[in-house]
Structure 1
Amino acid sequence: MVEANFHSSDAEAILRIPLSRRYVHDMVFWLHTKDGDYSVKLGYHIARLLAKQDADLGESSREVMGSSIWAKLWKLKAKESRYHVLWECGLAQDIWAGSSRRLQKGVPGLDDMVQLVEYMQNRLTDEELEYFWVQCWFIWNQCNAIVHGGAIQEPGRLNQRAKDFLDEFRAAQLRLSVSAVFSDTSSSGFGAVIRNNLGEVMAAMSAKGPSVVDSEEAEVLACRRVLEFAVDTEFEELMIEGDNSTVIRCLSSIRAFRSRLGNVYADIHVLAAGSRCKSFSCVKREANLAAHSLARYARSIDGDMFWMEETPPPAIEAVYLDSVSLNE
């Protein structure tokens, strides 16, 4: 059907779109953005580009109708109360003043919570970012308590509560590390290791995957496969780690991605919710060697391999090196 109705190159691209494991409705996504969402701003620029092409680039200096209006629209800014509550108000400033030095330093003029989060993601380590979110949660709860007649807690106490909460959370964590490898050949490789808070291997997997287009597709398919493995082995409340920042950032988002990989991301969110996964975080490749070793190993085997409560032989040295890196 596809090959009969589309040009061969288009048909090949369509048939390479990964399918969902669930029943999902067909959807339309915007080709010119990575997440598949239509952007008015980008649509405007694409329209200008097409207009220039139609004019054979002969009138590039002519102002496009309405461009001054669009320029004003881009400059409009809406106030967002969450930013004020979590960062600008006096209570929030007193609490952040008692936190880590990297959170105490001045932040350049920002307009809303989205810009603040993006700034923090680019500036903080994963551990500091976790503390930032926990502290935001405590600040928000404190503000709600005040609105409903509760007492104001001393900022130092809230800082200590955030630290204690995060320490308890990390101590109880099972870490699921995932990695993928691919090349121009007809297959990819997936690897995963589940470890407890002591670094002991609880389960591991090495599985061969399909041919993929790029590293993002390889990694997101690997995430889905290893989460299915975690569900089958009845592991819950996992902290999922990977070394592909693009995939981890998309998985950490609550947005629905209307792209060629959108259904796979949705599958992962469903699996993560069902197994009560706690977080997605990006780690350096040096701290993800075991999963990466198993991903490479997968390309040399015919079927999937699994290990339960034992260190997988293909990754013995890598498991040790991961433990050293995580404890530094």
Structure 2
Amino acid sequence: MEDKWIPNHPGNKILFHTKYDEWEWGVSDLIDWRVNQWDRDKIFTIFHHFDAEAIIRIPLSRRQVEDRMVWMHCCNGKYPVKFGYRVAHMLAKDAISKEESSEQRTENRVWSQLWKLRVPNKIKIFGWRACLNILPSKVNLARRKILIDATFGVCQRFPETVSHAIWSYSAAQDVWASANARIQKCGGEFDEFLHLFQFMMSKLSLEELANFLNWKPPMGQLYKLNFDAAVFANGSGIGAVIRNAARDVMAALSVRGAAVNDNEEAKAGACRTALEFATNAGFSELIIEADNVTVMSVVSSLSPNWSRLGVIYDDVRCLAAGLRQVVFSSI
């Protein structure tokens, strides 16, 4: 009960005692080895619902592999000596700047990223003013008693805030629809443009804000496998498509996935499912392409991964090893 084996869970261990506390059980007893998945009925019978939900979110390997110790605070699961120095530096920095609020630190990171964008300076200044909410929107002008009516003059339905005029308004969304595919995924309503910008910077790289994504067909006799994942409140979704050099769709997949903890887990699981689909469909010469640089760099690396998602990455590598030719690529 005291072992720390549940990632992304308070204390990384079981929180609520059960009537089976005295039972000498192991984690392997909670797995249905016939399908290499968690035994949901047993888990929800034994554990509190809060603990059970966390357990079934732990990714399992498709194969039977040995247990291993991982360092939760590094993405590759290994503890580097420099991590200790980094923590010490962060603690010292926090002690010096303890008067600075978390909100101020977040905004400082926003400004740092904003000024690094490779766009004309006038665009940076416009973005800076939008984030500070000092553009002359009708809401801001009404707040200063310059105008009385703050309704957006085009749609005549909502107040003219900076975020509504630039992002939420239907005509603005039509413009964004022709932009980078990953920008299109950053949908939703945001009360302030600063919050929208923070969300985008957490999802996109600096280059992705300036470049369009163009799909390129594979060369020769190779096939290209593209996959993606979406995260929902009660699960995830996985999509995959295989095309040839003539851009013809050879096979496609769309399935519901398990509940996940974050985007990386969703993309790693989607990669495994997509590669299983391609293998079962008989494709053995593939270019595997996706938009998550982290996932694609890990699965293409020869170094072992000891993170909580290591079992998924190992499954992908085992599947890839059975192909005649495979290339991993990120877009």
TM-score by length of 2: 0.46
Query: Which one has the bigger helix percentage?
Result: 1
Which structure has more relative contact order (CA 8 Å, sep 6+)? It is 1
